[in-house]
């Protein structure tokens, strides 16, 4: 994968690290205590993602252009995530870099990104059916959809938290797990608020 520009930001669901390539947002990681990256999409994020980190220190003209493009997308990603968590944004207007995904991941996650909006949910089985109808026509069982949801490279922006089981919430691999998923779904209005829910965070 192309070298990514990284930035860290705080959120109600804990610290996040977002990574962008010139093609789009390529990674979004939940970061554990002490800044250690929680594994998402096969790689840990940089342990200390500061306001912005990008590319090699010495870059030629082509590399410099790529770094500037990545940094521009990074600023937009941070701004839009901040707007989302303050309730000012329901749709992310960001390109996603799918280059680190397998064909099946790309099909399923792009269908999810395009078809399941804010405040909505879809079951693993329903998402499997939508993936079959997508451009690549990939047929996958619901449990395979669950595995893909377990390691998304760009959670939140590609809303794997909106994919639920037919009989409950299902699992979630981001942050502290299922309570993050529950918090996000209540925040978006897809679930009624519980007595202990707080807009300040999970």
Q: Point out the residues that are catalytic.
A: 160
CA distances from 94 to 23, 30, 195 (A): 10, 19, 34
Angle between helices 142-149 and 103-115 (to 10 degrees): 90
Nearest to 77 by CA among 89, 66, 65: 89
Q: State the sign of the Cα–Cα–Cα–Cα dihedral 78, 82, 85, 90.
A: negative
Q: What residues contact 73, with CB distance under 8 A and at least 6 apart?
A: 5, 20, 21, 22, 24, 25, 94, 95
Q: What residues contact 176, with CB distance under 8 A and at least 6 apart?
A: 14, 202
CA distance 128 to 165: 12
Cβ neighbour number for residue 13 with a 10 Å cutoff: 21
């Amino acid at each position: 994968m192309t070298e990514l520009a990284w930035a860290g930001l705080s959120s109600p669901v804990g610290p996040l690290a977002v990574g962008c390539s010139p093609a789009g947002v390529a990674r979004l990681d939940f970061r554990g205590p002490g800044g250690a990256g929680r594994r998402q999409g096969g790689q840990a994020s940089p342990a200390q993602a500061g306001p912005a980190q990008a590319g090699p220190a010495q870059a030629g003209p082509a590399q410099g252009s790529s770094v500037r493009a990545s940094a521009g997308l990074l600023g937009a990603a941070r701004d839009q995530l901040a707007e989302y968590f303050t309730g000012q944004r329901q749709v992310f207007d960001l390109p996603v870099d799918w280059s680190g995904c397998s064909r099946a991941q790309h099909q399923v996650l792009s269908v999810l990104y395009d078809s399941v909006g804010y405040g909505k949910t879809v079951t693993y089985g329903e998402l499997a059916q939508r993936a079959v109808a997508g451009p690549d026509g990939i047929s996958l069982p619901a449990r395979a959809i669950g595995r893909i949801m377990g390691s998304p490279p760009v959670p939140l922006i590609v809303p794997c938290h909106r994919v639920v089981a037919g009989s409950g919430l299902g699992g979630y691999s981001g942050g502290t797990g299922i309570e993050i998923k529950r918090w996000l779904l209540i925040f978006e209005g897809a679930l009624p608020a519980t007595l202990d829910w707080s807009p300040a965070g999970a």
